[in-house]
Structure formats: C-alpha cells, structure tokens
Structure 1
C-alpha cells in the first residue's frame, strides 16, 4: 500500500485505518488530540509506521498535522520504539535529525542519551558524535548512567578527541554542581589510552586535567595506570615523577604501584634499583611482596645473566612463604639455560614438577636451548620427543633453537625434516630466522636448488624474506656461478623494499667482476650510489655530498 503525507488535518480513524491496513473505514471530520495517553500511543505507532514506509526522506514530518502533534515527549517515544522495538538506530537517528532540522524540535535529554548509547553500540560513531554536538548546543550533556559507556565506545573506535571532550565537559558540569565524576570513568579512559599505546596523550590528560586543573580527583589506581603505561614504554624515570607526587594528592602507593615500577626497572635492566624497591616493601606494614614482585626481579637478574642473585631471591621467596608460580620457574630455568648451567636448570625443572606444576612449551624450549648451547644436541632432541609424549606442542622458538643447532652441526637433512613439520602447522607462520640457517647450510653445501625449494615453502607459508635471506641466496648463487640468478635475486630484493647492506653489495659486485661481468657490476654499483645520493638529498640536502662520500 502506498502511504502519503496529507497537508490537511486528518482524522484519527483514517490514520488508524492506514496503520492497520483498513482503508475502507470512513474518515471523520476532526483531527485526533494527543492529550490522552491512548492517543499519544496511537500517534507514536502511526509515526513509526510512516517512518518505516517513507524513510529515508521522512518528508511527512513537514505536514501541518505533525507540526501540531509532535512534541518532545512524543518524539522520545518515537525514537524509543524505532530504536528499541524495531532495532533500527539509523532510522531513529534520521527521524531525530529530520524533526530537529525541519521542525526545530528541541528534544528531551533522555532522547539524546538513548541515541548516543544505541548508535555507539551499533558502531555508528560519526552519527553519535553529531548527536552529541546537537546535545551540547541544546544545553545537555550525557547522563552519568551512559557516560562511561559512551566515552569507552568512542575511545575504542579511536575517537579519543571526542571521548575526552565529553569527559571534560561532564567534569566541568559536575564541578559547578559540587559533584564528582566517578573515578572509574576517567581511570577507564586513561587505561584505554595506555592500552592503545597513546601514553603521551594519557600523560598530557593526567597532567592537564588532574594535576593542574583538578577536573578530577585522582586515586591510587589513576597513578598506577599512567605509571604502568610509562613503564611499558620504558620511560621509567617519568613514571617515578608520578610516584613522587602521589602522596601530595592523598594517594598512597600500594603493591600494584611497586610491582609496576619494579617490572619497569627490570625491563630497562635496572634490576639493582628494582631489588631496592623490593626491600622497601619489606620494611612497611601496609602490604607485603608477592610472587609477582619476586618473579619480576628474578627474571630481570636472569636476563642479565646474574643467576646467582636470581637463585638467592628464589630461595628467599620460598623461605618467606611465597609459593613460586610457573612464570617464576620458567624465568629461572631460562636464565640457567642461557648461562649454560644446564645442571642447575635440570634441578630447577625437577623441583618444578615436584611442586605440582606441569611444564609448558616455554619450559621445554628453555631446557632445549640450554642443552643446545652446551653442545648436547642429543638431549635437546630427547626433550622434543618428551614434549610430544606429554602433548606439549612445540612453538616457533622451539623449532628455531633445534634447527639452528642442527645446522651448526651440518645435520641439514634433520633440520629439513623439522621444517617439513612446520609446513603442516597451520597455527605457525615461521619468521625468516627459522628458515635462514637451513637455506645458508644448503647454499654453502652447493645445493642451491634445495635452498630455492625452501624459499618457495617460505612464500607458501606467507613468510616474507628478510635482508639475511636475500644475502644468503645472492651469495649462494654467486658461489655456484649463477650470476644472472644472483642479479635477479638482487633486483627482487630492491623491488620489495629490502635495502642491501655493504656486505651484500660488495660481495655481489666482487663476484660479478671475477666472473668477467664488469658492465653488470658497474651498473649495480651506479644504482647503489644513486640510491644513497637520493636518500641523502631527502634526509639532508645541505650535506648530501658528504653523505655520498662517506657511503662510497
């Protein structure tokens, strides 16, 4: 049935007949009155029906009838029914915008809140932002009940500017009313900034609106979030700046604060300072160090090769009644393994299993790596078999450790077998460093065809060659006397944007000249000089001559 928008007053009976599909009913002489609840509900149903049939133009809202009968309360009911009952936020937004622009209707605050939430839920953030701009111009702000959801939704969509604008506007309004925005809302916003690696924005927000303007009242969690982001970005010194001013805002550091700073210090190798903080925890009574605190310092010492200090802290932790977890055992086993102390690593492995922990892929990979570093490849392979027996699936690093060790002992066929296992693992896309030792081994053995086959397998797995892969293949073809293949590989290297280093260039040019291909060698050399010259001009046009001279 075709619906039309009359420009003269029409009766309730006639519109009802349209709504219910009974056009044979007789039209009455007077328009309906929206004063009673039943009439309002009936009017909402009619508007919803017309919205569905006449969208997206919604020209019917310009009729005299709708101008008279459409008021903010009815408009809210229409938006609610279209949005919630008909599950069509886009159409609800179209009706909202059309009624506002064409009828100059000032909507109620619940209408704005409803549209903001529903549009954000549907991912229509551009429309939601427009609703907010209308809302602000009409003197409203998102209610506290939807504030966190709206701010979080905009931030998740990458629209941090509008999320911050809404949050600040709400804070200023609350300050005028001598109220406070819930710390959960702005802490959540800070957390989202840091999780999206926008730590500079988080710091700026914190300093501007919390420390300086005092738009929000920070708590310990607020400081912890910013310090965690700074520590993850290896900006530990800046994290300590916030640590130093916490107490001036009546915020006392807690265990999360100390664990965050300790972990950050260990990340940048300042493990001695981290242990000082650990000792600082022990002299105060509010809280005690936990397994996370100790594990961070133990792992930090292991990465520096200070296994004695790590072992001392491990025993201290146990003596203090703190039970180590799987991460603690893995950290110290890996530290012993990288130091070549496989006996100590094996003893720690035995303690781990005796404590009731089931070794995972990290445990086995660390043990395999330790044995391979000590030249005990046989034990490494035995551990790989033990992994399979215990149904622990090896990861890319497990394969890499064993493949590299096999290639060093020139056991290329066994390394090739491990690569073949990777071929059928859909959950692993090995990086180039897994393939490179085998490709290098076959090239040095003169079997360039097998090396090329491995390269084809790399490409089939979606692994992109790196500079080392190209260099190995170029030199392998040169050693085999396949100079044109070497040149082709060099050109392919350039075409994918991989810049050759001096070793690659000098080796290729030298091999070409020895093969009597001076013209090709000179062309490659000229291309290299031109590439260096162009790069120098782009980066520093004033000093380009000096850069070229240095490069040559």
Structure 2
C-alpha cells in the first residue's frame, strides 16, 4: 500500500508540473488516460491550489477523457473559483456537476447563492435555489436568509419578495425568521402595506408570526409616523394573548411618540408597560428623557431620570447628552455644564454628538472660551472629529471679529484629521469680508475650489456682494464665471440661523 501511495503521489506531482508548465494537456492525453482517476483529479486540483489551472485540468479530464468527478472535487473547485471572483468558470463547473447527477448540499448551495448575489449576479443565485427546490434538496433556512439579507442590503427587496413567492409556489416551507427578514426589508423601504400582506399570508406559509414579527411592524409604522396605528396593533396583540409583547415592542412605540413630541401618549404607554410587568430598559428611558428635553420640559426629563435609577437602569452617554441638550434649549447653561461634570464623574465617555451639543450650546450662550476648551478635550480623545463640531466656534470667533482666532481653530481642525466643509469655508469667507480682509477672503474661496469643496449660493452671493461693495467688480465677475463653468449650486446650508441648522438637528442616539 505504501508503494502505491508513493506512486500516486509522484503521479500527482507530475500532473501538477505538466499543468503549470504546459499550455495544453493534449500532448499527454495517452499518459493521463492510463493513470488518471477521479480520485487523483481531486488530488491534482487540491495540490495545484490555482483555480484557473484546476478548472483547466477538470475540463480536460471531462471533455477529453469523458471522466465523471466526485462531489468533493466539484465542491473544492467551485469554492476556489468563486473565492477568486471567477464566477463564469464556476457556473460551468456547476453545470458539469449537475450533468454528473450531483446536487449541491446546503453548505455548498448557501455558499454559491451568497457568492453570486454579492457580485450582482442574482439571476444565477435564483437559478441555483429554484434548481435545488425542484430537486427536493430541502433548502436550509440559512441559505435563503443569507440571500434575502444580501438583496435587502442591495436595495433589491422587490426581487427578494418575488423569489420568495416563487419558492412558495414550488412548495418551499419557510421558517418564521425568513419571513421576518423580508418584512423588515419592506418596512425599511417604507412598504409597510406589503409587510402586512406577508403577515396575512403567514398561515399559508406553514409558520406563525412571533413577537419579532410584530416588533418589525411596530418599527415600520413608527418610521412612517403612523404611531397611533402601531399603538392599536399593540393593543390587538395584547388582547389576542398569543404571546406577550416585550420591552422592544413598547419602547419602539414610546420612542415613536417621543419623536412626534407626543409626550403624554408616550408617558401613558410607559405606565401601561410597567403595569403589564414588562421591565423598561435604558433605551426606554432615553427615548422619554430625550423627548421631554426637546420640548424644554426639564422637570419631566429629570423625573424620568430618577425613575430610571429607581428601576436599576444605568444611564449612558445618550441619557446625559439628552439632558445636557435639554438644559441648553431652555437657556440653563450652568445646569447643562453641571450635568456634563456629573457625566464625567460617572466615567461615562462622551461621544461625538455630546461634544457637538456642548460646543453649540456654549457658543449660543456666547461662552466661546469654554467651547474652545471642549474642542481641546475632543482633540485629546480617540473620537474622529467632524466639521459640524468645529463650525459653531469658528462662527462665534468670526462674528466677534476675532478672525485670526478662527483661522487658528481651522488649522487645529485640519491637524486633527478633520477637513473643513462648505459651511466652514463660508463662515471664514464672510468673517474676513466683514473685517475688510478681502484678499484673504478671496484666498479662502480659491482654496475651497482647489480642494474640490463646492460652494453654494450663499457662499457665492455673499462674497460677490462684499467684492462689489469693496470696489472689486473684476473679482466679483471672476467668482461668478468660475462657478458658472465648474459647479452647480446646491441647496443653501446657511438659509437658517447657524445654531438652528446644527444644534436643533443634531441626532441623539436613544433607540
């Protein structure tokens, strides 16, 4: 046996050498016809470990030697070809495999379906699945789940639904999680009505909805601001007693009410949630605290914060950011800074939006030095900064006539790997114009163009207006001509007061 194995090993070595060094295997047809077997083909493909060469060797053995191959050979070759992005060759190998009467098992099927979908060849993935279903393979739910998730990420939820319906017609029996994936994709695309159609058809699929199914619908309805409808659906679920809504069910709808500033409805549902025995979590409290804070009702926000502690929920960065933002909204700057200190004492690390809220709030209260200190803390952290954090301070310095200070902040901003945006440049240009530094304003405008940052109507019209007032019509014409040739105006980012367009719209992560 040892001598036979050594002889086979030598043969595999010779076959690999011939494959690497020869453009064609035809001159060795007689040699291979005497010694090559399907088992040795697998060994050659494995040892070559080069997908192209393995493909050519299998193709030669099939077409010239009329050889059928094992499942293991096809599995190895298909995975290596797809891994090297040689999907056209892999499709040929799949066809050979089917001609040999072999059907891929679920692990290989799942790999192929996902691989082709990821490279945008969904029609091939669909062919594989339909072929498997027609041959009674018994498709594992993971195979379909992975494919549907990929399609949804590619914004192809309609394709996913059509394929699902086609599989159902071929007697495919899905699990609940598969239908949930499709419903979630529909809800994210705003197609809540279609999601409800799937809910209605659950019985015909041979499975039943679960609490996750309804949570997806709650979230979908809240996304399109139909929170009352979500609330009614929750009431129906509670009355049916098929299963008990969980904390996600209640929190989703509470958060929906809070985003619509319907705090009374949100608070009532919170009380109902507690009475039902469902324990609220940090996300539940954060939604309510943020909602009350945005309305300036800090008494209710603090009362909810105390309830949070009573329930044993630990506040996080979103909790404190909402409270700090709420205090700034009602002009209680000192209380906002006290909450900031309290957050630090609890060793809760700030995120980018915490810094944004602090900087915007302090600048709005004309406390630029403190805002400057917050920026220094940001630069010392591991957080990658964004222009919207720096812009309020730059704007504050420019409006105070301290343009040199604004320039220094921009320099620090760039040192911290943060590129100025359109608003940054516009603030600087207007600031220099207000101070009469027209050459500097023109230089900033030219730099803006050089780095590929497209100005908008406010930038251009402001600069042209100052240039004309300063007796520089030639430069004003140049500005207009350059923009007319290279850029298309976008929507103005400065049509609202600065702090209204940044602080008010700063997202707070609550749920």
Matched, 1:48 2:5: no
Aligned equivalents of 1:533, 1:412: Cα separation in 2: 35
What is the SS of the residue equivalent to 1:56?
helix
1:316-331 paired onto structure 2 within 5 Å: 316-331=272-287
Q: Is the 8 A contact 2:425 2:445 kept in 1?
A: yes
1:108-507 paired onto structure 2 within 5 Å: 108-117=70-79, 128-136=90-98, 138=100, 140-156=102-118, 159-174=121-136, 180-207=138-165, 209-210=166-167, 213-214=169-170, 216-426=172-382, 428-507=383-462
Please report how far the alpha carbon of residue 422 of structure 1 lies from its aligned counterpart in structure 2 after TM superposition: 1.4
Alpha-carbon displacement from aligned partner over 1:452-506 (angstroms, at most 9, x marks no partner): 2222222233323332222111101111212122223223333444443332222
Q: Is the 8 A contact 1:261 1:274 kept in 2?
A: yes
Cα 1:39–1:197, aligned 2, differ >3 Å: closer, same or farther? farther
**RMSD between aligned residues:** 2.9
TM-score normalised by L of structure 1 = 0.80
Aligned equivalents of 1:533, 1:366: Cα separation in 2: 38
Alpha-carbon displacement from aligned partner over 1:154-186 (angstroms, at most 9, x marks no partner): 445655443333222222333xxxx64233322
Q: Is the 8 A contact 1:48 1:78 kept in 2?
A: yes
Aligned equivalents of 1:53, 1:483: Cα separation in 2: 74
Aligned equivalents of 1:169, 1:463: Cα separation in 2: 52
Matched, 1:74 2:40: yes
In the other structure, the counterpart of 2:505 is: none
Cα 1:292–1:490, aligned 2, differ >3 Å: closer, same or farther? same
**Greater Cα offset, 476-485 or 390-399:** 476-485
**Greater Cα offset, 135-144 or 412-421:** 135-144
Structure 2 counterpart of 1:65, from 8, 31, 50: 31
Aligned equivalents of 1:485, 1:215: Cα separation in 2: 72
Matched, 1:516 2:480: no
Please report how far the alpha carbon of residue 351 of structure 1 lies from its aligned counterpart in structure 2 after TM superposition: 1.8
Q: Is the 8 A contact 2:117 2:150 kept in 1?
A: yes
Q: Is the 8 A contact 1:210 1:218 kept in 2?
A: no
Aligned equivalents of 2:291, 2:75: Cα separation in 1: 55
Q: Is the 8 A contact 1:47 1:78 kept in 2?
A: no
Please report how far the alpha carbon of residue 38 of structure 1 lies from its aligned counterpart in structure 2 after TM superposition: 6.3
Q: Is the 8 A contact 1:51 1:95 kept in 2?
A: no
In the other structure, the counterpart of 2:497 is: none
Greater Cα radius of gyration, structure 1 or 2:
1
**Greater Cα offset, 279-288 or 44-53:** 44-53
Structure 1 unaligned segments of length 5 or more: list them: 1-36, 536-552
In the other structure, the counterpart of 1:19 is: none
Alpha-carbon displacement from aligned partner over 1:387-411 (angstroms, at most 9, x marks no partner): 2222111000000001001101111
Aligned equivalents of 1:169, 1:491: Cα separation in 2: 61
**Greater Cα offset, 482-491 or 134-143:** 134-143
Alpha-carbon displacement from aligned partner over 1:420-455 (angstroms, at most 9, x marks no partner): 1111223x2222211110010111111212212222
What is the SS of the residue equivalent to 1:356?
coil
**Greater Cα offset, 51-60 or 358-367:** 51-60
**Greater Cα offset, 370-379 or 156-165:** 156-165
Q: Is the 8 A contact 1:51 1:91 kept in 2?
A: no
Aligned equivalents of 1:157, 1:215: Cα separation in 2: 28
Q: Is the 8 A contact 2:215 2:248 kept in 1?
A: yes
Cα 1:214–1:101, aligned 2, differ >3 Å: closer, same or farther? closer
What is the SS of the residue equivalent to 1:322?
coil
Please report how far the alpha carbon of residue 121 of structure 1 lies from its aligned counterpart in structure 2 after TM superposition: 6.3
Aligned equivalents of 1:43, 1:160: Cα separation in 2: 45
Aligned equivalents of 1:200, 1:440: Cα separation in 2: 46
**Greater Cα offset, 190-199 or 348-357:** 190-199
Q: Is the 8 A contact 2:12 2:40 kept in 1?
A: no
Cα 1:392–1:223, aligned 2, differ >3 Å: closer, same or farther? same
1:77-116 paired onto structure 2 within 5 Å: 77-79=43-45, 82=47, 92-93=54-55, 95-100=57-62, 103-116=65-78
What is the SS of the residue equivalent to 2:20?
coil
What is the SS of the residue equivalent to 1:283?
helix
Please report how far the alpha carbon of residue 118 of structure 1 lies from its aligned counterpart in structure 2 after TM superposition: 5.2
Cα 1:320–1:196, aligned 2, differ >3 Å: closer, same or farther? same
